[in-house]
Amino acid sequence: MEDKEKEVLDSIERLSQSLDIKINKKKSGATFKTKEVVVLLFMTALIGLVMGSIVTYNVTLKGKKVDDELQEFITNYDYIVDNYYDDIDKTKLVDSAIAGMLSTLDKNSAYVGGSDTNFSIYLEGTYEGTGIQVFNDEDNNIVIYSVFEDTPASKAGLKAGDIIVKLNDKDTTNMVISDFSSLIKKEKGSFKITYKRDDEVKTVSLKTEKVELKSVSSRIIEKDGKKFGYIRVTIFASNTDEQFKKELDDLESKGIDGLVIDFRGNSGGHLATAEEIISLFLDSSHPIYQIKSKDNQSKYYSTGKETKDYKISILIDGDSASATEVVTSALMEQYGAKTVGEKSYGKGTVQELQTLPDGEQYKLTTKSWLTSKGKVIDGKGIEPDYNVKLSENYIENPSDENDNQLQKALDILK
């Protein structure tokens, strides 16, 4: 009986560490930053375990006794674990319970899976791998969707559309993506990939290494005797601000007459990254956004040392969201930047990311944000100064000349 009781108490202790429950202990006093859209969050919930009949523990939740709803959950968890006819993976059971709870909340609170998912990889901006993205086609082949530049995969000559047929000696036919990823991990960083391109089959050797995802690109566009900088940002990853500063410094060194920032299709990301990018253009006297929680509302300011003096145009569309809208609204209200395109998505809430002990993750909406002047954009979006729908010519034949939104942004700079 003592061994069984110890097992139960150890299980509760493990779960309490992941779910922020106080069990006859004082809180550790740990603090967490809340500046990022995605940060750590501890969820208040408890899974109770039983031995024979229900055992009563001295459990408190935020200083209060467990309420009836949570007790009902504990009771049913106990019943399922004790009476299900087969073995139960308790970790998966808890993960599924959390996913179920999140599904009853707003659309932005969600279970996102493991920390090696595309969601987490793109937000982190780096990962250990080969530099390929893959998908299952309708015949269940493993097909390369894209190859990142300057990675082991690109150096080995792999291209989008290649069908992977073997990993070492393991046939990957009819293999799902999750099994393929697990197989790569088991190879511990060095393996051979056999792929098919058209009717030719080749084998290459690959080693995993740290891959940095490029989320910022830039170039000079000359028009009517003037030189304009163009920066495209695809996501606000943790390293996007560093890439942005490098590209901006390079453009400014070439003597630009104005700047176009392209946020079309950018769904957002880290709020801290958005702050850093805004601060490249505004000095610290400028407010850049406001955060509203259950208890208070706070105004946040730029950390920049100077305010730029050239004109800025920003391209947005219906997929421009979240941190993208933070930067756009701040530069509109505090810098005087003009926007071109179509109304943005309208995501005015902040999510925080929690990583569970098994590596699974979920995001929870904890706050809302307002523009620097206190405007609500959630569900409304940002109306551009110049509402311009992307032309069919560009969709059929993408080029700067056919990009009527870009051309309008350049005309504004002139």
Q: Looking at the structure, do residues 220 and 189 belong to the same domain, yes or no? A: no
Q: Where does a domain end: 191, 212, 233?
A: 212
Q: Looking at the structure, do residues 207 and 222 belong to the same domain, yes or no? A: no
Least confident of 151-155, 374-378, 386-390, 409-413: 151-155
Checking if the pLDDT of 338 tops 50, the result is yes
Return the bridge partners of 314, or none: 261, 339
User: For residue 339, how many other CB atoms are within 10 A of its CB?
Assistant: 27
CB contact burial 134-157 (16+ within 10 A = b; e otherwise): beeeeeebbbbeebbeebbbeebe
Q: Say if 237 falls within a structural domain.
A: yes
Q: Where does a domain end: 88, 108, 139?
A: 88
Catalytic residues: 322, 347, 351
Q: Say if 155 falls within a structural domain.
A: yes
DSSP state string for 172-190: -TT--HHHHHHHHHHTTTE
**pLDDT band for position 35 (50/70/90)?**
very low
Q: Looking at the structure, do residues 199 and 223 belong to the same domain, yes or no? A: no
**pLDDT band for position 174 (50/70/90)?**
confident
**pLDDT band for position 315 (50/70/90)?**
very high
Q: What is the pLDDT of residue 350?
A: 82
User: For residue 33, how many other CB atoms are within 10 A of its CB?
Assistant: 8
Q: What is the pLDDT of residue 63?
A: 53
Q: Say if 286 falls within a structural domain.
A: yes
Q: Are residues 386 and 342 in contact, defined by beta-carbon separation less than 8 angstroms?
A: no
Q: Where does a domain end: 212, 240, 260?
A: 212
In whole angstroms, give the CA distance from residue 280 to residue 337. 14
CATH code (residue 259): 3.90.226.10
Q: Looking at the structure, do residues 275 and 342 belong to the same domain, yes or no? A: yes
> By CB neighbour count within 10 A (0-12 exposed, 13-18 middle, 19+ buried), where does 170 fall?
middle
> What does the pLDDT average to over 351-369?
83
Q: Are residues 248 and 164 in contact, defined by beta-carbon separation less than 8 angstroms?
A: no
Q: Say if 14 falls within a structural domain.
A: yes
Q: What is the pLDDT of residue 210?
A: 82
- Which phi-psi region, left, alpha or beta, contains residue 209 (left: φ > 0; alpha: ψ -120 to 50)? beta
CATH code (residue 155): 2.30.42.10
Task: Render pLDDT for 234-286 as a digit per residue (tens, 0 to 9).
Answer: 989 989 999 999 999 999 999 999 999 999 999 888 899 999 999 999 999 99
Task: Render pLDDT for 40-72 as a digit per residue (tens, 0 to 9).
Answer: 333 333 333 333 333 333 444 445 566 777 888
Q: Say if 116 falls within a structural domain.
A: no
Give the number of domains in the chain: 3
Q: Say if 167 falls within a structural domain.
A: yes
Q: Looking at the structure, do residues 261 and 387 belong to the same domain, yes or no? A: yes
Helix (H, G, I), strand (E, B) or coil at 64: strand
Q: Looking at the structure, do residues 70 and 187 belong to the same domain, yes or no? A: no
Q: Vertex 260, ends 286 and 216: CA angle to 5°?
A: 90
Q: Looking at the structure, do residues 261 and 352 belong to the same domain, yes or no? A: yes
CB contact burial 40-73 (16+ within 10 A = b; e otherwise): ebeeebbbbbbeeeeeeeebebeeeebeeebeeb
261's enclosing H/E stretch is strand 258-262
Domain hosting 42: range is 2-88
Q: Looking at the structure, do residues 68 and 186 belong to the same domain, yes or no? A: no
Return the bridge partners of 197, or none: 200
* CA distances to 219, 262, 310, 314, 413 from 336, in Å: 23, 16, 10, 11, 12
Q: Looking at the structure, do residues 178 and 305 belong to the same domain, yes or no? A: no
Give the pair of three-digit tokens for residue 366. 């904890």
* CA distances to 134, 147, 158, 191, 197 from 161, in Å: 9, 10, 9, 20, 7
Checking if the pLDDT of 13 tops 70, the result is no
Q: Looking at the structure, do residues 53 and 23 belong to the same domain, yes or no? A: yes
State the DSSP code for 334.
I
No. of helices (H) and no. of strands (E), the chain: 11, 21
In whole angstroms, give the CA distance from residue 296 to residue 291. 8
Q: What is the pLDDT of residue 356?
A: 82
Q: What is the pLDDT of residue 325?
A: 97
Q: Looking at the structure, do residues 201 and 227 belong to the same domain, yes or no? A: no
Q: Say if 36 falls within a structural domain.
A: yes
Q: Looking at the structure, do residues 204 and 282 belong to the same domain, yes or no? A: no
Q: What is the pLDDT of residue 24?
A: 38
Q: Say if 102 falls within a structural domain.
A: no
Checking if the pLDDT of 19 tops 80, the result is no
Q: What is the pLDDT of residue 125?
A: 67
